Amino acid sequence: MSAVHHDPSVAPSAPDHEDLYGSTLLSLQQVRDLVRTVEGALALRHAAQFFVWTQGGLQQLLPHQLLLCGAYHRASRELRFEVFNNAPVPQGLDLALCAPGSALSRRLQAEWLAHGEGRPLLMSAAELGLTGYAQLLIHGVSRPQRPSEIESFFALAHAESLYGPRQAVLLELLMPQLHAGWLRVQSAESRSSPPQNAHSVPAGELTARECQVLQGLRQGHSNQEIAQTLDISALTVKNHVQRILRKLGASNRAHAVARAQVSLPWLNEERG
């Protein structure tokens, strides 16, 4: 057996990459972010915690400006969606994605079921007619033995073309945490929300400021955009939104707008 000689003039260095998943290489920093992200997911109970979690290790591993999260709702027998964003969303897009029976969200699900084969699917935003974004990376979890019945569904979007095979692998690795974490959030918030068959409140029970914020939601504006228009802080807008959701018995912003459009006819009128 021949000996292996080490050249003392060459300092040994630890490999920066290891083959962790087939032919896809992850950097050691990505491995650290992956572990930290998995550990952080265990504590998720509320939407605010979920958003903070997505902006940590998950953002490092899977950069995104918009994250669409959906979970199956037994009462309505369909997925209900919510959008998280760290950059302005094109006007009306959050409503188009999250409104009950959304054609756009249903198309995303159909594309994944038809072409994803149970794996993450990369899509061009242009194919969907979405402006402001270049790519979407979508993935879901189907019921065992019933692949056409989706339990949870997620879509990440970015204005730059950042997604490829490596990001698809990372999304697949993190899917159990996304799925379980989002379902825990939905379960916890459903216990603290009014019943879904609760009557919508009359306009008089919304304050003047809440009516202004609700109008901003209808126009598809982000909290930051509403805050700038009303000359208040984004945190104050967030607090108003939470109160609006409680008063309307809504599960998310789009759901609140949908309910208000039925019970508050003035919402469809443009106000200064």
User: Domain ranges in the chain?
Assistant: 24-192, 203-268
Q: What is the pTM of this model?
A: 0.68
Residues near 126 by beta carbon (within 8 Å), at least 6 away in sequence: none
Residues near 201 by beta carbon (within 8 Å), at least 6 away in sequence: 247, 248, 263
Strand order in the sheet with 146-158: 78-85, 66-73, 146-158, 135-143, 121-124
CA dihedral 101, 102, 103, 106 (to 10 degrees): -80
Tens of pLDDT along the chain (272 residues) come to 444 333 444 344 444 444 444 445 678 888 889 999 999 999 898 887 888 899 888 999 999 999 999 999 887 788 999 888 888 888 788 888 988 888 999 999 999 999 999 999 999 999 998 989 999 999 999 998 888 999 999 999 999 999 999 999 999 999 999 999 999 988 887 776 554 444 445 545 788 888 889 888 888 888 999 999 999 998 999 989 988 888 887 778 877 877 776 666 555 554 44
Q: Which CATH architecture has domain 24-192?
A: 2-Layer Sandwich (3.30)
SS3 151: strand
pLDDT of residue 266: 56
pLDDT of residue 262: 64
pLDDT of residue 245: 85
pLDDT of residue 24: 52
CATH class of 203-268: mainly alpha
pLDDT of residue 104: 94
DSSP codes joined into one string, 224-262: HHHHHHHTS-HHHHHHHHHHHHHHHT-SSHHHHHHHHHH
